[in-house]
């Protein structure tokens, strides 16, 4: 189960728009987070949720249209027990019977601070209809988290993952990370990065889930969409150096399924491709990570380093062309 959830997170990571992998610079909380963390940024700025029209009647595809990773098979959530701000132990399973919005966050994370008010507004709208938000803070003191909760007037349950073990089980290597869990305890969707959770589109989907539940098809929304396409699977390699990128010469066409091996040949790097909302994690020297996406548009596509591992690395940019 733990391994399954880690793999699920790798799927969700492809939908990250804005998040942190470490403490961001913030004078109000500069002494409260693990020093070994490093911050990351989005490659480009833009809205938290990509504007999109619903293209499918299924809940999973409608979520994916809003940049929220959705799956079609039943994946059971891993139960855990953590203390709330009052010191009372709370189990995830105690919320069975409700649709649970499970969020991993920290007070030092800028995107977390951005989405928390939207989460509270969502909670105010839907708590009486069966939605429960459970916000799990990662490795911070009770006093600091309580101060944050009071400042933002948060009324949903906030739990303390002092060791970071639960966050690790759920693959929360970037925050905020959110999982959506149905009334029976099965994970059906999630997202890495901040979202506008109280937008009319999102609220409408949540209301439908609260009223009708989730229909599982046995395949993920991503696989359903791939099945509709006729493009080839194209594989290429992008090697990252301290001076820039070297990519294999592969012709990409609109509709292709693209599999990229991201290799760090010199230093510690990663890449983000904003046009397709996909990104790798930090790849250490000599290692590689595979990312995948569907080339849904043609043109000149920008990508760049998303790991602040050295001077100028976050400004490393390159392009590849996708033809009709």
Strands, E, within the chain: which ranges?
Answer: 69-76, 81-84, 89-91, 99-105, 131-138, 158-161, 177-181, 186-192, 233-240, 245-247, 252-253, 257-264, 271-273, 278-279, 288-294, 299-305, 317-323
Domain 229-323 class, CATH top level: mainly beta
Q: Give the pLDDT score at 11.
A: 46
Q: Which residue has the higher pLDDT, 112 or 7?
A: 112
**Residue pLDDT, tens place only, 221-235:** 443 444 344 456 788
Dist. CA 118–CA 197, nearest whole Å: 5
Q: Give the pLDDT score at 216.
A: 61
Domain 2-223 class, CATH top level: alpha beta
User: Per-domain residue ranges for the chain?
Assistant: 2-223, 229-323
Residue 194: name the closest of 118, 271, 272, 140 by CA.
118
Question: What's the first-to-final CA gap in the chain, in angstroms?
Answer: 41
Q: Kindly state the average pLDDT of the residues 5-15.
A: 45
Strand-pair partners of 75: 187
pLDDT at 57 over 80: no
Q: Give the pLDDT score at 192.
A: 85
Q: Give the pLDDT score at 50.
A: 27
**Residue pLDDT, tens place only, 123-171:** 999 999 999 999 999 999 999 999 999 999 999 999 999 999 999 988 8
User: Contact at 8 Å (CB) between 224 and 215?
Assistant: no
């Amino acid at each position: 189960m733990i391994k399954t959830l880690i793999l699920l997170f790798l799927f969700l990571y492809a939908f990250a728009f804005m998040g942190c992998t470490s403490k961001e610079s913030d004078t109000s909380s500069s002494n409260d987070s693990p020093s070994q963390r490093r911050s990351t940024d989005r490659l480009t700025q833009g809205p938290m949720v990509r504007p999109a029209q619903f293209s499918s009647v299924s809940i999973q595809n409608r979520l994916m249209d809003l940049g929220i990773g959705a799956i079609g098979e039943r994946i059971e959530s891993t139960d855990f027990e953590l203390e709330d701000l009052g010191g009372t132990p709370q189990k995830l399973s105690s919320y069975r019977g409700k649709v649970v919005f499970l969020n991993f966050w920290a007070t030092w994370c800028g995107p977390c601070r951005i989405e928390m008010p939207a989460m509270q507004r969502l909670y105010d709208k839907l708590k009486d209809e069966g939605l429960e938000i459970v916000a799990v803070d990662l490795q911070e003191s009770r006093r600091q988290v309580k101060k944050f909760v009071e400042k933002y007037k948060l009324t949903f349950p906030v739990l303390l993952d002092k060791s970071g073990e639960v966050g690790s089980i759920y693959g929360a290597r970037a925050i905020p990370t959110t999982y959506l869990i149905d009334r029976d305890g099965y994970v059906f969707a999630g997202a890495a990065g901040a979202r506008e959770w109280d937008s009319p589109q999102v609220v409408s989907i949540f209301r439908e889930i609260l009223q009708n539940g989730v229909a599982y098809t046995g395949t993920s929304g991503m696989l359903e969409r791939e099945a509709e396409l006729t493009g080839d699977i194209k594989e290429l390699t992008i090697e990252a150096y301290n001076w820039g990128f070297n990519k294999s010469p592969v012709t990409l066409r609109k509709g292709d399924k693209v599999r990229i091996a991201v290799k760090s040949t010199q230093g510690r790097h990663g890449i983000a491709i904003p046009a397709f909302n996909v990104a790798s994690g930090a790849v250490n020297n000599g290692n590689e990570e595979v990312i995948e996406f569907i080339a849904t548009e043609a043109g000149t596509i920008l990508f760049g380093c998303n790991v602040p591992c050295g001077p100028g690395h976050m400004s490393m940019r390159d392009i590849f062309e996708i033809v009709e």
